Amino acid sequence: MMIGATTRRRTTTMLRAAAALLSVAVALVSYRYLAGVGPRAPQILANLFARPWLALHVAGAATALLLGPAQFVAGLRAAAPRLHRWIGRSYVLGCLLGAVAGLVLAFGSTAGPVATFGFGTLSILWIVTNVEGWRAALQRRFADHRAWMIRSFALTFAAVTLRLYLPLFPLLGVDFVDGYRAVSILSWVPNLILAELYVRRAIPAAAIVAATKAARSATGASGSATSS
């Protein structure tokens, strides 16, 4: 049992590190759109609303990708809660900017209604998860806050999975437009399913532990007050 638990922890740590590295890499590469550096896919720039919404989408989404991984470092949350809050605010702002711009871009997509539906739904869910996560934090419902932000980052990570999937379609003989339609859904639905499975398994356990600690603290405080 001990070996199994240790292996799971190591695997989880490695997966988180890989996700963080990919997120930062994609964020840094994406910023080139803002600087006008590097090649740009003409199929994506063909969006009817590319300017200025593509730049706003890239700026927001890249910022969210860059900041998001830091929010899941437990040591940072414990050691620097104020920094955690400020990074969180910047992350949510980036997500909302990216999502609103993404929703506009979805309706300007020249890849057809499938891409509009896929990316439009992603943008709407991105807004919902961030708003709900923000509300939960303000109301100090921290287990709910964590759950919503895990869902949020699963959607943010679609920027990474999209770039992992797109190069595979030419190898399968699928043209760019059909592949782009497919990733409008494949880039985020599996991410969200995995996030939901994790939330349902991990968050209730964490909430129980937190509630137990709070109850013990309250009992200890009550006992001290009685004895005094």
Q: Hey, how many other C-beta atoms are within 10 angstroms of the C-beta on 219?
A: 10
Q: Residues of 39-65 as b/e, b for ≥16 C-beta within 10 angstroms?
A: eeeeebeebeeeeebbebbbbbbbbbb
Residue 134's CB: how many other CB atoms inside 10 A?
A: 19
State which H helix or E strand residue 56 sits in: helix 50-67
**Does residue 15 or residue 88 have the better pLDDT?**
88
At residue 156 the predicted structure's pLDDT band, cuts being 50, 70 and 90, is: very high
For 92-117, the pLDDT digits (tens) are: 999 999 999 999 999 998 889 999 99
Residues 138, 59, 187, 19, CA torsion sign: negative
